[in-house]
């Protein structure tokens, strides 16, 4: 497990207290059973449609978008990113990357990919405070290592959020 810390907190809370508050909020959101759901297909939010397509789902509590999920199907697997927002700001994101399992013939020779079985390869948790990244918790490295860029990540998240709010 890899921990990376950034930024500072403006309030009197410690980073650990702030992260615990964020965890409580995303657990609260996940426990709500009657959120209104909006779905946008990949051709309406992706610049280039991927091999496995994609989907953007938004979850509204009353008029507020509290969670949204971007699912991208790629030739090698699937990437799913959950974003959580409060008062219009993203405060937490959870990303997993899974790849399709290898497929072998009876002799043990690799013949391709088993598209019915995904293997979790990456799990990342990103905590934000007032638009600034304060911590990353990762299990293993991303499948395609590129440095995490918080501003770009948040920019994409806010663009997706705006699409969902307009679609509502």
Mapping DSSP onto H, E and C, the string for 39-60 reads: EEEHHHCCCCCCCCCEEEEEEE
Chain segment 24-44, per-residue pLDDT in tens: 999 999 999 999 999 998 888
Name the average pLDDT for the chain: 87
Q: Residue 34 has what pLDDT?
A: 95
* Residue 116 backbone dihedrals phi, psi, to 5 degrees: -95, -5
What is the domain partition of the chain in residue ranges? Answer: 2-167
pLDDT at 139 over 50: yes
> With a threshold of 0.85, does the pTM exceed it?
no
Q: Please enumerate in sequence order all residues whose Cβ is within 8 A of that of 168, keeping only pairs 6 or more positions apart, or say none.
A: 36, 38, 58, 60, 63, 65
* Res 147 pLDDT > 70: no
pLDDT surpassing 50 at residue 106: yes
pLDDT in tens, 53-95: 899 999 999 999 999 999 999 888 999 999 999 999 999 999 9
């Amino acid at each position: 497990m890899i921990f990376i810390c950034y930024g500072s907190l403006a309030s009197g809370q410690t980073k650990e207290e702030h992260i615990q508050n964020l965890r409580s909020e995303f657990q609260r959101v996940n426990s709500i059973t009657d959120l209104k759901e909006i779905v946008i297909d990949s051709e309406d939010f992706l610049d280039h449609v991927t091999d496995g397509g994609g989907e953007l789902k938004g979850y509204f509590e009353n008029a507020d978008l509290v969670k949204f999920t971007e699912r991208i199907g790629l030739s090698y697997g699937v990437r799913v990113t959950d974003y959580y927002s409060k008062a219009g700001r993203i405060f937490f994101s959870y990303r997993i990357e899974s790849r399709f399992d290898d497929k072998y013939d009876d002799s043990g020779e690799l013949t391709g990919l088993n598209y019915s079985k995904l293997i979790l390869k990456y799990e990342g948790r990103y905590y934000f405070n007032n638009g600034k990244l304060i911590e990353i918790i990762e299990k293993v490295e991303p499948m395609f290592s590129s440095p995490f860029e918080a501003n770009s990540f948040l920019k994409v998240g806010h663009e997706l959020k705006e699409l969902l709010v307009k679609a509502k």
